[in-house]
Amino acid sequence: MPIFAFIIILSFVFYIFYKVQYVRSRRPMEKKWLSAKSSIALGLFVSVFGLNTLFIQQTIVSYIIAAVFILIGGASVWAGIKAYRHFLPYARREAEELNNHS
């Protein structure tokens, strides 16, 4: 399905984007926050890849592999959202402190 292909490509692009931002960042809390965002993007990539597999190939083996991909991707998205919510206030505070010192 074309929508799945679009989401797969878009989520992979966001994953690369956040990883590049992670490498360029010098602030520790911002790095953890960006890592959480990249985890969400990668989890979405893996989950949608598993969903796409369900529609492309319809064999028992592909159903099992798709289920594993969907579970692993979903767990990565869930963990990424939890980390994102945890580190967001710290990253904001870190950015505000940096702006106040300038």
CA-to-CA dists, residue 70 to 41, 52, 59, 64, 102, angstroms: 13, 10, 16, 10, 45
Instruction: Calculate the CA 24 to chain-centre distance.
Output: 18
pLDDT tens by residue, 39-94:
999 999 999 999 999 888 889 999 999 999 999 999 999 999 999 999 999 999 99
Q: What is the pLDDT of residue 76?
A: 96
The HSE-up count of residue 20 (CA atoms within 13 Å, CB side) is 6
Q: What is the pLDDT of residue 2?
A: 87
